[in-house]
Amino acid sequence: MDIGALLTSAGINIAICVVLLSLYSILRKQPSNVSVYFMRRLISEPVKHSDPFRFERLVPSASWIVRAWQATNEEILAAGGVDALVFLRIVVFSIRVFIIAAMICVFLLLPVNYYGQEMQHKQIHSESLEEYKNITKMRLAHITGSPVNPSHFTVLVRSIPCSQNHSYSKSVEDFFSTYYPASYVSHQMVYRAGRVDKLMKDAEKMYRMLKTIESQTKKSYMPCCLCGKSTHSFEALNNDAESVEIKTSSDELQPSQREK
């Protein structure tokens, strides 16, 4: 761990904070900035135009930090409003969080980093470096000596404006020939096959359903107990329907017609 680098970084950050706080302390004392920092007080109190020059305006002070830290919520609300109250509460909360984090870093992380063992990096032998150089040269020779593959220089694009007077392929060719004449060689149209795939899947699904129905139909054949003839379930249903029709027609006949 480099203590000098750590102290340098901490010194730079602390110096920047001190400069910004001093600049704010000086600017808030200037009469021209009263409307910026004390607008609410100017609205509620009469304005004093006579304000002679004093040397204290150019000297930064830290008393306002103590007063802002010790001020209650009611005092801040009466002096600056709700926005000032919320902003100061956020600042105070952030300062408290950073104080806790600084204590943890100073008393826990700093000793661990200072007394910790540094990692020793193994030195790479010159033979390994030469081997890596040879492999790199071989790969470069393979890339430069291999034939040019058009797929290495292909770009997939979409939403090319189409002209009503030409086909879509001709519109694509005109577009790239006009705007990219130096890099354009050729093009190939690629269509979205989502609908075709959906139709193929639906057809395959219907085929499977028909195969299932056909297998169930073959299983529904059953032999007749008397003559040994196999009957079909649909045929049995039709016979039952015919018997129902015959029975219904016989029931509709008059009693006299039945006796005849």
Confidence of residue 100 (pLDDT cuts 50, 70, 90): very high
CB pairs under 8 A, 24+ apart, for 107-115? 113/1, 114/1, 114/3
Q: How far apart are CA 41 and CA 80, in angstroms?
A: 8
Residue with tokens 């979409």: 158
Q: What is the pLDDT of residue 16?
A: 94
Q: What is the pLDDT of residue 101?
A: 92
Q: How far apart are CA 230 and CA 51, in angstroms?
A: 121
Q: How far apart are CA 37 and CA 204, in angstroms?
A: 77
Please state the φ and ψ torsions of residue 187, each to the nearest 5 degrees.
-145, 165
Is the pLDDT at 156 greater than 80, yes or no? yes
Whether 155 and 144 have beta carbons less than 8 Å apart is answered as no
Q: How far apart are CA 36 and CA 28, in angstroms?
A: 8
For the full predicted model, state whether its pTM sits above 0.85.
no
Higher-pLDDT residue of 121, 63: 63
What mean pLDDT do residues 7-11 have? 88
- Return the top range by mean pLDDT from 60-64, 174-178, 249-253: 174-178
**Displacement of CA 34 from its chain's centroid (Å):** 46
Q: How far apart are CA 161 and CA 182, in angstroms?
A: 20
Q: How far apart are CA 66 and CA 87, in angstroms?
A: 16
In DSSP notation, 115-148 reads HSPPPPPPPPPHHHHHHHHHHHHHHHHHHHHSPP
Cβ count within 10 A of residue 245 = 10
CA distances from 42 to 29, 45, 86, 198 (A): 14, 5, 21, 74
Q: How far apart are CA 24 and CA 68, in angstroms?
A: 14
Is the pLDDT at 244 greater than 50, yes or no? no
Please state the φ and ψ torsions of residue 231, each to the nearest 5 degrees.
-110, 150
Contacts of 23 (CB under 8 A, 6+ apart): 60
Q: Under DSSP, is residue 223 helix (H, G, I), strand (E, B) or coil?
A: strand
In DSSP notation, 16-40 reads HHHHHHHHHHHHTTSGGGHHHH-HH
**Weakest mean pLDDT among 57-66, 88-97, 116-125, 146-155:** 116-125
Average pLDDT of the chain is 75
What mean pLDDT do residues 186-204 have? 79
Task: Give the CB-side neighbour count of residue 178, counting CA atoms within 13 A.
Answer: 8
What are the residue ranges spanned by the domains of the chain? 3-115, 159-190, 194-220, 221-253
Whether 144 and 136 have beta carbons less than 8 Å apart is answered as no
